[in-house]
Structure 1
Amino acid sequence: MPPSPSTGTDAEAESPRYAGQYLLEGQLGSGGMGVVHLARSASGLRLAVKVVHAEFAQDPEFRGRFRQEVAAARRVSGAFTAPVVDADPDAERPWMATLFIPGPTLSEYVKRNGALAPARLRRLTAGLAEALRDIHRAGVVHRDLKPSNVLLAGDGPKVIDFGISRPSDSELRTETGKLIGTPPFMAPEQFRRPREVGPAADVFALGSVIVHAATGSGPFDSDSPYLVAYQVVHEEPDLTGVPDELLPLVARCLAKEPEDRPTPDELMAGLRSVSASYDTQAFIPGQRTGDPGQHTDGPGPRTDEPGSYADESASYAEEPGSYAEEPASYADEPGQHAGGRAARPARTAGRAPEEEPPTHRRAAPAAAAGRSQAHGMPPAGGRKRRRWPVAVAVAAGLALGAGAVAHVGSGDPRTPAESARPAPFQPWDIDLSARGAEASGLPQCVHTPGTLYCVRPGVLAAAVDPDDGDVRWARAAAGARADGDVRPPVLSGGLLHVFSDGGRRLDALDPATGRTRWSQDVARYDGRIAHVGGTVLLTGRDSQVTALDAATGERVWRRAVDGVTQPVFQSYGDRIAYAVDADGTGTRVTAVDPRTGDAHWQRRLDGALGLVGAHDGVLWFTSTSVTHSDTDAVVRYDTADGTQRRTALRYPLAGAQAVVRDDTVYLLSADGALVAVDTRTSAQLWQIQTSVSFPSAPVAAGRRVYLGGADGRVVAVDAAKGALLGQTRARPGAARESVVAWLPSPLAADGRVYAAAGDGSLFVVDGTDPAAW
C-alpha cells in the first residue's frame, strides 16, 4: 500500500512533520518501538525515517538501545543492508534515516506467493550468507534475523532492523531474566546463555529463515512461544519440504551447538558445490549464467517497473510486540565474532626526493584459501507443525570523485585498458604518506603504464609502482595537514601538475624525481582551471582567459572568449576545450581551440544540460529537471549534422554522476542506482541498485563499470548485463561514521583496479575476477 498520512486519535496522529531536516511525507509502517516514515532529503533521495514512540523517548534505557541500533546500522551500511544517511538519537523524538529500498519483505512475499522455487531459494541463501559475512566483519551480531527483517530488493536480499543487534564494543548488558528476539528464529544459546550469543546465532536464524522460505513454515512451530523455545533447545528441526540439495547445509545451520554451525564463508563454499547446475544469479556473481535480464528475476520485484513497491511500504517496521514488551540491553563478549578478515599491515610511503630513498617491500601474494564442502547431519523428518504467528519476548526460565582518479589528464577517459598481464597478479595496499607530513584523507591518483602518481592531504605528490605498491618518491605538502583541500593530479606537457596550498598554487613537477619545474599562483582564478591538450586554461573574474604552456608555465595567450562569461572548461581527450553555460531556458555550448582561444563553434541546445563526454564530434549531456533538480534524461548531440537525440530516464535520478563509453552513458545516482542508456537507440538498457549511498563517479573500463563507496568498497558491475559481479571488503577507517563529501573514483587499467579507502590506504585488486574480491 502507498504511504499514508497520520490519522486517528492515537499518539502517532500527532507525529512530527520533520525529523531533523527531513519532511515526513507518510507512514511506511508502525511497530512496537516506533513509526517508519517515507521522507525525502533536500537532494531528492527517498528515505525511510524511523521515529521512536514518544513513550520510549523518555526512557534512558531505550535511548541507549536506540543509540546502539544507530551505531550498529552505521557499521554495516553497505550492499546487503539499508545504508544509514543520518540520525539523531539525542533528539526529543530520536530518529534514524536510511535509504528507502523498494521491495517486499520475505515474510510478505511468502504469505502472498507461497514458498520460493529451489533456484530462488538458493539465491536467497547465498545472498543472506553474504549479508551475514559483511555484518559479522563489521563486528555486529544481528540477533533478530527473521523473514520480516529481510527485504527482497531487485539486486538481492537486504537485512534490516538492527534494533537488538550487539556490536562488539557495546557497553550495554543483557538484563538477567529477560530475553529479546523472535522465538521461532532464535538460537538455543539465546535461551540458555544469552550473554554468550555470537555470530553463530545469526547462522542458526538464517537456517530457520530458509526453511520458512522453502515451506511457508519454520523448523520450530507451535501456537505457544514457550513450546517453540523448548523445541529450539531440545528437539530436532522439522525440515520437511526443504529441497534435498540444501538439506545438509540447512541442517548444519540449525545445529544445537554454535561451534557445529558453518560460518557464512563455509556456507557460501557449500552452496557453490551443491550441484553442477547451481545458478546464483546476482547473489554469488562468479556463478552467473543465463539471460542478461535474469538478474531481476529473483524473489523481489524489478526496481525499474512502476508500482513494484507501492504495496510493500510497511516492510520497514518491526512486527508489533517483537521485543517491545521486555526492555533489555546487550551482552558484551569480546572475541565472539567470526568471519573477520585480518588486516594487512600498512606500509609507509617513501620520503621526499631530496632525502634518502624509502625502503621498498613487496607485498606477499594473497594466499588462496579454500574450504571443502561441509557435510551435514541427516535431515530430521516428522510432522509439519503450525506456524506461531506472533513474535514476543520470552522469560529466561525456559532454559547480530567525480571520475578524477579514473584517467585524469589529456588522454581519452573512455578507453582504459584491461589487457592481460605478463606477471602474476599480486595485491598490495599502502598507507600513502611522506616524511614530515601528517597525511589524512583519501589519496587521488592518475595512472600511466609504469607509474601511479598520487596526491593526498599532507602529501604534495608521490610516485607509486603499480606492480608492487613501492613508493619511488614522495613529497610532503607545505604546511603538512594544512593542505586539506587537494585536487586530482594531472599529467600535461610531460610534467605532473598538482595543486598546493589549498588549491591556491599550481606546481609542475618532474615525474621522474618529483622536483618542481615551475610554479604559478592561481588563487585569483577561484578554481576555474582546466588542462586541455598541453595547455593550462585559467579563467579570471573579468572573464579573461589566460593560457599557459603546460611544459614551461609561460603564457601563450590571454583573451576573452566571444559570447562566454567566466567560462569553466571541460575536456575529454579530443584537444578541444568545451565551455557549457546553462541559464534555465537552455544551454549554450562553445568549443574553443586551447592553443589560440578561438571558438570553433557555438550552439544553443534545449534544456538544462551538463556535459559528461565528447568524442569524434559527438557530445553527451545529462539533462536536469528544472523543478526537481534531478537528472531526467540523456542527450546525444552530433556536431556534424546538428542532430540532438534525447532519451528520457524511466525514473529521475538524484545527484547523478555519469561516464560515457561507446555511445552508452552510465549514470550513478546518490542513492546507488546505476542506469545504462544506449544513446544511439534511445533505449534504457538496464537499471540496478548497488546499495552504495553517496558513491564516487562511475568508471567504465572494458566490460565493467566500477564505483567506490565511502566505506572503501569497490563494486564491479557487468557493463552489458547490469549484473553485480563482486565487491571488495569495506575499509572505513577510524572515522567510520563520518560522511565523505567527495570520493575519488576507482582507476581501472591493465586488468587491475586501483582505489582509495576511507582509512587512507591505496590498494589494488584483480580486475579480471571481481567475484573473488
Structure 2
Amino acid sequence: MASPRSVGFGAEGAADPESVGAYRLESVLGSGGMGVVHLATSPSGMRLAVKVVHAQHAADPEFRARFRQEVSAARRVSGAFTASVVDADPDADRPWMATVHIPGPTLAERVKDSGPLAAAEVRRLGAGLAEALRDIHRAGVVHRDLKPSNVLLAADGPKVIDFGISRPYDSDLRTETGKLIGTPPFMAPEQFQRPREVGPAADVFAMGAVLVHAATGSGPFDSDSPYVVAYQVVHNEPDLGGVPEDLVPVLRLCLAKDPGDRPTPDELMSALRSAAYGSEAQIPTQLFRNPVQVETADGSPSPRRARWIVAALALIGVVGGGVAAVQALPDGTGTVAAPEQRAPARFRPWNVQLAAKGDGNRTAFCSADAAGGALYCAAPGVAVARLDALSGKVLWSVAGGGGQPLSDDLAPVVADGRVLVRAPGGGTLRAYDAGNGKPVWSADVSAYSGVHPAGPTVLLPTTDGHVTALDSTTGKESWRKAALGGPRSQWAVTVDGKGAAFVVTPSADGRSTSVAAVDPATGSVRWQARADGRLRPVAADGKAVFLLATDAAGFTSAVVRLDTATHAVRRIALTAPLDQAQAGVDGDTVYLFGAGGALVAVDSVRGAEKWRLDTGVARASRPVASGGQVYLTGADGRLLAFGAAKGVLAGQTSPRMNNGRYTFTPALPAPLAVGGRVYAASPDGSVFGVDPGDVGSW
C-alpha cells in the first residue's frame, strides 16, 4: 500500500489530510479548481476515489450548497455508467465524497496519448454515453458539464463522473445572472444564451461534441479563445471533418442549435448500439415503425422527428448494409416495408396487463409450475393470478396486495398443488388451490424472517436460528427445531425442491461460513461443512451448492462451489469484483450480473471465467440461463438475450418504461425460462411471453 502524501492546495497551501471518514488516503489521482481526488482504501480493502474540497471553498456557504447538490445528484444516478457513491460528508470541515474507484484513463487522456478512437470504438462509446444520459435524466438530473475529462474509459464501458455543476430538475439553486457554468467547447447554445433554461437536451449536445472529439481529436467548435468558441457554438455549423461517415447525420442532430431538434438519449442509444454491434444486433425499428409518430397535429411530418428518422436510417443503412427498405406512400410520408409473413406457430408471443396502469412501480413477480403450463403471478392490487403459459389468458385471479410494490421474495411459489403467497409486509402466508384459485389455508408468519418452500414442506426460520416446518398441503406444523442457523443465515433449496435444504451462516467476523444440509422432512442435519470467507448462497442442485464470496461493502470477488457428495470446496476468483452481484446457475456454469453492467460466465468445474461482457444495462435482474441463452430483465422493461457460449447480444425486446422522469423499480423480477418459452414482467405492470427460438424478432 502506498504511503499517504500531503499536497498543497493552490495559493492557500493547506495540506491534504491523511484520511477522511473511515478512509485512508494513499495518493493523488487528480486535482482541479474545486478540490483534489485521492485514491483511498476502505477498512474492508475496497478501492475508492475520494474527492476532498479545497479549504478556501469549504468556507463558502454557496459552494457548500452546490457540493451538497453534487453529492445528491451523484447518489441519484449511480448505475452502470457512473461511479457509485459509497459515502460522503458535505458538512465536514473539508467536505468530501467517496465513490468506487474506476481504473482507466479519461477519454481526454486516451485521445491525447493514443490519438482518435477507431470508428467502432466511437460507436460503442456513444451507445454507453447515451444510456448514461438516459439514466441520469430519468433520475431528474442534468449533468451540464459532459466533456472528455469527465468520461472514464473503464474495462466494462464508459463511466460519467463529476456532477459538480449538475442540477436536479426540482432544484431551488439557480445559475447566477451573467455567470456561465460549463466548459465552452462542450456547452450547448442555450447555456450561453439562456442558462436558467438549460435542460436535458444540453447534455445531448455535449455528448455530440464529445463523440466528435473522440473520433477526430478535436471538438466541433475548436478555438484558442473561449469567446470565439462561444460565438461558434451559437452561430456556426459544427466542423465534422474526420468523423466516420455513418455517424455524421446523428452527430449533426445532436449538435442542433434548437434543443427540440436534438434526439433523445433513448433514440441515440437504440441507433448507436445497433451500429456498435453491427448488423446482427437488434435494429431500432421503433424509431420509424409507426408513421403516426412522425406526424404533427395537422398531419404534416414533424421536422424534428423526420430529420431524426432519416439520420437513424442512414446510420443503420451504412452499418447494417441496408437492413430495411423505405417505400413512399401516396401522401409523401415513408414507412418500412412489411416483413415477410411467416407460417403461424403454435405459440405466439403475448402480453397481458396484469397490474392496473398508473404512476409508480407496478411490477409483477411470477413463478411457473414444473410442467411449464401455467404462470402464477402477484402484482400491486393482485394477490395472485394464474395465467395460461401458452396464450397469456388469465384463468383466475385473487384481488389483494393493497397496491404496494413487491419484491422477489413475495413471488408466488407452487408446491404440491398449492400456490403459496406471502402478503406485502410479510405478516400472512396464504395457500390457494393451483387449479381453481380457492383459498385452502393461511398462517401468521410475522415472527419469521423468511418463507422457504422445499417440496411438500415450507420452512420458516427465525433470526435466532429456530425453524418451524409446515405441510404445504394442509398448513399444519410438521416439526420444529432450534439451532439451525442464526441472525445472518440464508437458505437455499434444490432446484426441484425435492433434495436437501441448505442453511448458510457466515461467522461473526466474516472469515468463514458454515453450510449445513437439512432434511426438509425431519429437520435433521445430514452434514455440515465450512468454507473460507463471507459467503451467500445462489442455488443448489443434486451435485453442488453454489455460493458467492462477498465483502462487507457488497462486492463479490469469487464464486464458490461446494460438492454435496465430497464436501470439497472450489473457489473461482473473478477477474474483477462485481458490485451487488446477482447470480443464476445452469448446469456447472454460474452467470453473474453486477450493478456496474457486467455479465460474467464462470465455469465452476474448470475453475475459470468463460467470458465477461459489458451489457450496457444500468440495472437488471438476476440472470437466468436456458437453452443456450442467458436472459436479463432491464429496469426499462426490456428482456435481453445473450448467447451462453460467447456472451454475445442475441436479441432484446423494446423498452416498456420510457415515460416518467423518476421511473425507478426497487426490485426487478428475473425472467422465467420453462417449457421451451421465456416469460418476463415489466415495471409497467405487464407480463409477456416470447419465443426464445426467434430472438431476432423480439
Instruction: Give the counterpart letter for 2:500 in structure 1.
Output: A
SS in 1 for 2:67: helix
* Map 1:207-222 → 2, pairs under 5 A: 207-222=208-223
The Cα offsets for residues 165-185 of structure 1, whole Å up to 9 and x where unpaired, read as 344334343333222221222
CA distance in 2, matches of 1:633, 1:140: 35
CA distance in 1, matches of 2:283, 2:345: 24
* Map 1:103-502 → 2, pairs under 5 A: 103-258=104-259, 261-264=262-265, 267=268, 280-281=276-277, 286=282, 371-373=309-311, 422=346, 424-427=348-351, 429-431=353-355, 443-448=364-369, 449=372, 451-455=374-378, 460-463=383-386, 472-476=396-400, 487-500=410-423, 502=425
Q: Do the aligned partners of residues 752 and 233 (structure 1) sit closer, same or farther apart at CA in structure 2, a change above 3 Å counting?
A: same
CA distance in 2, matches of 1:130, 1:763: 24
- Of the structure 1 ranges 181-190 and 683-692, higher mean CA displacement relative to structure 2 is found in 683-692
- Of the structure 1 ranges 457-466 and 442-451, higher mean CA displacement relative to structure 2 is found in 457-466
Report how far residue 280 of structure 1 moved.
1.0
Q: Do the aligned partners of residues 746 and 56 (structure 1) sit closer, same or farther apart at CA in structure 2, a change above 3 Å counting?
A: farther
Determine which of 555, 559, 566 is the counterpart of 1:634: 559
Report how far residue 678 of structure 1 moved.
0.6
CA distance in 1, matches of 2:275, 2:492: 44
1:341 aligns with: none
Structure 1 contact 706–746 (Cα < 8 Å) conserved: yes
1:700 aligns with: 625
Determine which of 499, 510, 515 is the counterpart of 2:433: 510
The Cα offsets for residues 326-370 of structure 1, whole Å up to 9 and x where unpaired, read as xxxxxxxxxxxx9xxxxxxxxxxxxxxxxxxxxxxxxxxxxxx99
CA distance in 2, matches of 1:481, 1:234: 52
Instruction: Give the counterpart letter for 1:281 in structure 2.
Output: Y
SS in 2 for 1:81: coil
2:680 aligns with: 754
CA distance in 1, matches of 2:626, 2:367: 15
Report how far residue 716 of structure 1 moved.
5.5
SS in 2 for 1:372: helix
Q: Do the aligned partners of residues 188 and 578 (structure 1) sit closer, same or farther apart at CA in structure 2, a change above 3 Å counting?
A: closer
Structure 1 contact 269–371 (Cα < 8 Å) conserved: no
SS in 2 for 1:101: coil
CA distance in 2, matches of 1:42, 1:457: 41
2:324 aligns with: none
2:591 aligns with: 666
Q: Do the aligned partners of residues 509 and 671 (structure 1) sit closer, same or farther apart at CA in structure 2, a change above 3 Å counting?
A: same
CA distance in 2, matches of 1:484, 1:677: 27
Report how far residue 42 of structure 1 moved.
7.1
CA distance in 2, matches of 1:766, 1:188: 45
Structure 1 contact 211–219 (Cα < 8 Å) conserved: yes
1:675 aligns with: 600
SS in 2 for 1:675: strand
Q: Do the aligned partners of residues 474 and 370 (structure 1) sit closer, same or farther apart at CA in structure 2, a change above 3 Å counting?
A: farther
Q: Do the aligned partners of residues 116 and 60 (structure 1) sit closer, same or farther apart at CA in structure 2, a change above 3 Å counting?
A: same
Structure 1 contact 270–373 (Cα < 8 Å) conserved: no
CA distance in 2, matches of 1:26, 1:686: 33
The Cα offsets for residues 712-762 of structure 1, whole Å up to 9 and x where unpaired, read as 78766543334567697596999959995x7654445564442464xx845
Report the count of equivalent residues. Answer: 635
Instruction: Give the counterpart letter for 1:634 in structure 2.
Output: V
Report how far residue 108 of structure 1 moved.
0.5
- Of the structure 1 ranges 686-695 and 669-678, higher mean CA displacement relative to structure 2 is found in 686-695
1:573 aligns with 2:499: no
The Cα offsets for residues 40-73 of structure 1, whole Å up to 9 and x where unpaired, read as 6677654434343343344343344334444544
1:405 aligns with: none
Report how far residue 658 of structure 1 moved.
2.9
Instruction: Give the counterpart letter for 2:434 in structure 1.
Output: P
Instruction: Give the counterpart letter for 1:7 in structure 2.
Output: V
SS in 1 for 2:592: strand
Instruction: Give the counterpart letter for 1:371 in structure 2.
Output: I
The Cα offsets for residues 441-498 of structure 1, whole Å up to 9 and x where unpaired, read as 9654323445543446886545466756869423436x99799997443211211122
CA distance in 2, matches of 1:485, 1:77: 22
The Cα offsets for residues 257-288 of structure 1, whole Å up to 9 and x where unpaired, read as 4455555455567658xxxxx85139995379
Q: Do the aligned partners of residues 634 and 372 (structure 1) sit closer, same or farther apart at CA in structure 2, a change above 3 Å counting?
A: same
Structure 1 contact 429–469 (Cα < 8 Å) conserved: no
CA distance in 1, matches of 2:51, 2:193: 32
1:552 aligns with: 474
* Map 1:75-114 → 2, pairs under 5 A: 75-85=76-86, 89=90, 93-114=94-115
CA distance in 2, matches of 1:199, 1:735: 11
The Cα offsets for residues 183-229 of structure 1, whole Å up to 9 and x where unpaired, read as 22223343334345444433433332223222222232222222222
CA distance in 2, matches of 1:731, 1:443: 14
TM-score (norm 1): 0.67
CA distance in 2, matches of 1:422, 1:618: 36
CA distance in 1, matches of 2:653, 2:70: 25
SS in 2 for 1:474: strand
Instruction: Give the counterpart letter for 1:551 in structure 2.
Output: T
Report how far residue 550 of structure 1 moved.
1.5
Structure 2 contact 622–670 (Cα < 8 Å) conserved: yes
- CA-atom RMSD, angstroms? 5.0
Q: Do the aligned partners of residues 128 and 143 (structure 1) sit closer, same or farther apart at CA in structure 2, a change above 3 Å counting?
A: same
1:7 aligns with 2:3: no
Long gaps (5+) in structure 1? 273-277, 289-337, 339-368, 377-419
Structure 1 contact 430–469 (Cα < 8 Å) conserved: no
CA distance in 1, matches of 2:653, 2:60: 40
Q: Do the aligned partners of residues 457 and 594 (structure 1) sit closer, same or farther apart at CA in structure 2, a change above 3 Å counting?
A: same
Report how far residue 97 of structure 1 moved.
4.3
CA distance in 1, matches of 2:71, 2:247: 35
Structure 1 contact 57–93 (Cα < 8 Å) conserved: yes
1:527 aligns with: 449
CA distance in 2, matches of 1:513, 1:195: 60
Highest RCO, 1 vs 2 (Cα 8 Å, sep ≥ 6): 1
CA distance in 2, matches of 1:129, 1:583: 41
Structure 1 contact 655–670 (Cα < 8 Å) conserved: yes
SS in 2 for 1:32: coil
2:540 aligns with: 614
* Map 1:580-595 → 2, pairs under 5 A: 580=503, 589-595=515-521
Q: Do the aligned partners of residues 206 and 588 (structure 1) sit closer, same or farther apart at CA in structure 2, a change above 3 Å counting?
A: closer
SS in 2 for 1:373: helix
1:649 aligns with: 574
Long gaps (5+) in structure 2? 288-306, 315-343
* Map 1:730-741 → 2, pairs under 5 A: 740=666
TM-score (norm 2): 0.73
CA distance in 1, matches of 2:236, 2:55: 41
CA distance in 2, matches of 1:144, 1:116: 21
